[in-house]
């Protein structure tokens, strides 16, 4: 598999599928280093682990930092199936991850509302790219929430 944005997002989608089996909101994440190698991955596990902070991004950041024995992931990019929440944005910032790629836009977090019709946005040196594999990521979320109702 070629190391492209779409392929990394497809791997994040596979991580999100793990959440479905746990009755968690299906969100998956992978972190890639500057060489294009995947160094960690994660999926939502808040309910399973009784930990409200255990979002896909947090799980992946924790694993990557542990693997690198460092709190900074300066050369890394993060791929996540859903636009990061405020908590995850803070963790991404603290870890120094400068490039964030996400699939589905979140209606819950309006801080990027002007992004909807744009592919990329820079905020304080951090670059966010939205809408990668958006249809697949959004579909997975819609199916999950439809089953809950």
Confidence (pLDDT) at 57: 98
Confidence (pLDDT) at 107: 77
Q: E strands, 2-76, where?
A: 28-32, 38-43
Confidence (pLDDT) at 121: 61
What is residue 128's DSSP assignment?
E
Alpha-carbon gap, residue 115 to 28, rounded angstroms: 21
Residue 49: partners with Cβ closer than 8 Å, 6 or more residues away: none
Confidence (pLDDT) at 128: 87
Tokens of 62: 């924790």
Residues noted as catalytic = 57
Alpha-carbon gap, residue 20 to 112, rounded angstroms: 26
Residue 43 neighbours by CB distance under 10 Å? 27
Predicted TM-score (pTM) of the model is 0.89
Mean pLDDT per 10-residue interval, the chain, length 149 residues: 85 95 94 96 96 97 98 97 94 95 81 48 77 94 87
Confidence (pLDDT) at 120: 57
Alpha-carbon gap, residue 106 to 74, rounded angstroms: 26
Confidence (pLDDT) at 119: 45
């Amino acid at each position: 598999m070629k190391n492209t944005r779409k392929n990394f997002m497809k791997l994040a989608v596979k991580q999100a599928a793990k959440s479905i089996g746990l009755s968690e909101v299906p969100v998956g994440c992978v972190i890639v280093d500057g060489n294009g190698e995947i160094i960690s991955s994660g999926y939502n596990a808040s309910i399973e682990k009784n930990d409200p902070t255990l979002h896909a991004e947090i799980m992946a950041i924790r694993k990557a930092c542990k693997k690198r024995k460092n709190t900074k992931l300066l050369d890394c990019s993060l791929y996540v199936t859903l636009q990061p929440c405020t908590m995850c944005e803070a963790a991404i910032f603290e870890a120094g991850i400068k490039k964030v790629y996400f699939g589905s836009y979140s209606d819950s977090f309006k801080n990027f509302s002007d992004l909807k019709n744009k592919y990329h946005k820079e905020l304080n040196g951090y670059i966010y790219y939205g809408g990668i594999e958006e249809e697949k990521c959004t579909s997975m979320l819609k199916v999950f929430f439809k089953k809950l109702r």
